[in-house]
Structure 1
Amino acid sequence: MKKTVTMLVVALSVGWYGCSSDGAKKRADEAPTDPAAVVSQDEVHGTEVKEVTLSTPLDGAMVKQGQGIYEMKCSSCHKLDETRLVGPGWKGVMSRRKPEWIMNMILNVDMMLEKDAEAQKMLELCLVRMPNQNLSEPDARSILEFMRMNDGEK
């Protein structure tokens, strides 16, 4: 019994210390101080994509990577045909949207929903805000290449 009470007191003390401001300050002091090692979220996302260069023929490695990302992160909301699931179907997206628009919708969904009238119309239609999937620009480019293949480009 005495052992149990002692262990409980130790566990509560450790938990309390970890949540106290001194514990948080100590952990903040242990964080890397090299500014080059710290990457802000704005550096990863939030930079508008202004130009996308498409190649012909399609890049097979990018298509394969894009398909994998689609299956893991996109397929629960988007179908590859015209059917709207949660979000719109992807069939024909390359004829409806510019590559830059698609890349920005993937990478900067908050900015697009705030500023872009077409993105706002899609939100009104689908009633569900597209989540930020925290993808890199190369990942988004691979998804774009997969979309091109899905639309029949070679």
Structure 2
Amino acid sequence: MKKLFLMFSIALFVAGCAGGGNSDPNGTAGQSEAAEAPAAGTGSYDPNRGEGKFTDVKISDKLDAEMAARGEKLADLKCISCHKLTDEKLVGPGWAGVTKRNKPEWIMNFMTNTDVMIDKDPKVQAMLEICMVRMPNQNLSDGDARDILEFLRKNDGVK
């Protein structure tokens, strides 16, 4: 049953694929411009925060093991069929180093406001050019997204 679900999920992802023209194998397309100017038509878009309600996510220097455990369970259920915990691409990009490359607000906004971020964020659009599959909205609650963020921090070595 799990294999059938995985095959069905992959078929849905492929069907939702936004074909790209020229892709950049290094994943750097448009990143230098993204830091300098807002995305077209967005006015006040902040590429460090993304688009969504999270403007100031408080995180501790120390890992919250309970949150990370809940996040790991959620990730196993909703994310790991497309993302590896290493830097290796599966369907979507690998997760290694994601919390070192992006601010917590950006990560939380992407997890909870996926469609808008795909449409507006140059970093996400560059990843889409490489992965060729649009990330589906997983309908995560704010708490679920925060738990997954803590799991991502654990994956990146926060203790």
**From 130, 141, 150, the counterpart of 2:155:** 150
The aligned residue for residue 75 of structure 1 is 80
* Cα separation, 1, equivalents of 2:153 and 2:115: 24
* Cα separation, 2, equivalents of 1:80 and 1:150: 7
94-103 vs 75-84, which deviates more?
A: 94-103
SS of the residue aligned with 1:147?
helix
The aligned residue for residue 99 of structure 2 is 94
The aligned residue for residue 12 of structure 2 is none
The aligned residue for residue 119 of structure 2 is 114
SS of the residue aligned with 1:49?
coil
* Cα separation, 2, equivalents of 1:57 and 1:149: 10
> What whole-Å deviation, never above 9, does each CA across 1:45-89 have from its counterpart, x for those lacking one?
x84211111013211110000000010010000000011000010
Q: Which structure is larger by alpha-carbon Rg, 1 or 2?
A: 1
Structure 1 residues 23-62: aligned runs within 5 Å: 47-62=52-67
Q: Give the ranges of 4+ consecutive aligned residues of structure 1 lying more than 2 Å apart after TM superposition.
A: none
**TM-score by structure 1 length?**
0.68
* Cα separation, 2, equivalents of 1:84 and 1:48: 28
Cα RMSD between the aligned structures?
A: 1.2
Tell me, yes or no, if structure 1 residue 129 matches structure 2 residue 138: no
SS of the residue aligned with 2:111?
helix
> What whole-Å deviation, never above 9, does each CA across 1:8-58 have from its counterpart, x for those lacking one?
xxxxxxxxxxxxxxxxxxxxxxxxxxxxxxxxxxxxxx8421111101321
What letter is aligned with 1:53? K
* Cα separation, 1, equivalents of 2:65 and 2:139: 23
> Per residue, is there more helix in 1 or in 2?
1
Aligned residues: 109
* Cα separation, 1, equivalents of 2:95 and 2:61: 20
* Cα separation, 2, equivalents of 1:53 and 1:66: 16
Unaligned runs of 5+ in 1: 1-45
SS of the residue aligned with 1:146?
helix
Greater relative contact order: 1 or 2 (C-alpha under 8 angstroms, separation 6 or more)?
2
* Cα separation, 2, equivalents of 1:70 and 1:145: 11
Unaligned runs of 5+ in 2: 1-50
* Cα separation, 1, equivalents of 2:145 and 2:129: 24
The aligned residue for residue 141 of structure 1 is 146
* Cα separation, 2, equivalents of 1:118 and 1:48: 19
